[in-house]
Amino acid sequence: MPDQLIFAMEVTLNGLLNGVMYALVALGFVLIFKASGIFNYAQGVMALFAAMTLVGIQQGRVPFGHLINEIFGTDIHYFGWEVPALAAILLTALVMIGFAILAQRFVFRHLVGQEPIILFMATIGLAYFLEGVSDLMWGSEIRNLDVGLPQGINDSIDAVTFNLFGYGFFIDNLDITAAIVATVLVAGLIAFAQYTKQGRAMRAVADDHQAALSVGIKLNYVWVLVWSLAGIVALVAGIMWGSKSGVQFSLSLIALKALPVLMLGGFTSIPGAIIGGLIIGVGEALFEFAIGPMIGGATENWFAYVLALVFLVFRPQGLFGEKIIERV
């Protein structure tokens, strides 16, 4: 087998796994957009906040430590205990649910029946607010996140491919874990949306707020539910990206990578987010591999957006987005 082809296979595989990571972020957007028609600009910052909180809890940091020390002249930074990873993750999930309740209570509840653009503006405000809170609570240094996920090269894939092609593929264990977690998460979310009463209510709210109100669905409750789910998806994305590249401000920018994924997969489709993520992941990896060297490389930075643009022209609802049903 020619070397080029073997490389291409490795690149594709890595691209697929990378795509899963994009899809994880995109999922959070889809959830909120489906249920409330809000494009949640804060999704990336929520991932950052979740990862920061997780690290903080795990290491036993004092929240608002800087602030407390500044005001009272004390010098405390740590509680002096360490929380096991699983417990820390559960606590962080609770924090995200708390955030969902507060956001609903103080922001979105007052905006029922407003234009989508106004809700979008509100999420921009929310994003900057959360960014500030995140800094204030846990500081802005780069942190290492380690919840015990397997890291480094996967030896068995390396061995198998070496025997087959005489060349071992470098596939990161973390990427494989992310793919498995994402699959489970998506299956769970789809099952929830399709087969439970609350899931049905969620989809009903997405279709028509007024009608949902009229049959007695509590909008506030459903929205808190949706924001909580989005918060938990943000937490998972935060864990994966945080383990991969450290917890730092740039984590909130992965949201930008989710945009082309959404345009490809459709804003309203959970499977679409996954497939879109995979296409972008593989597409940009292969493009960089095949065309990149000819035009000076660094095509990853723009390839996804160009692909999204093409989609906007020819299929604005994305691959799997709900068709815009219009009857006269």
> Considering the complex, what minimum distance in angstroms separates the CB of residue 112 from other proteins?
5
- Rounded to 5°, the CA angle 101-258-47 comes to 40
Residue 299 contacts residue 291 (beta carbons within 8 Å): yes
Give the orientation angle of helix 3-36 with respect to helix 270-290, to 10 degrees. 150
> Considering the complex, what minimum distance in angstroms separates the CB of residue 319 from other proteins?
17
> Considering the complex, what minimum distance in angstroms separates the CB of residue 203 from other proteins?
6
Amino acid type, 104: Q
DSSP-assigned letters across all residues of 37-74: ----TTHHHHHHHHHHHHHHHHHTBPTTHHHHHHHH--
> Considering the complex, what minimum distance in angstroms separates the CB of residue 243 from other proteins?
36
Which CB sits closer to other proteins, 80 or 216? 216
Which CB sits closer to other proteins, 196 or 245? 196
> Considering the complex, what minimum distance in angstroms separates the CB of residue 323 from other proteins?
9
Which CB sits closer to other proteins, 163 or 210? 210
Q: Among residues 50, 79, 34, which one has the least CA distance to residue 273? A: 34
Which CB sits closer to other proteins, 294 or 328? 328
* Count of C-beta atoms within a 10 Å radius of residue 222: 23
Residue 262 contacts residue 29 (beta carbons within 8 Å): yes
Site residues (CB under 8 A) for other proteins?
112-113, 197, 200-201, 203-204, 206-218, 322, 325, 327
Which CB sits closer to other proteins, 104 or 154? 104
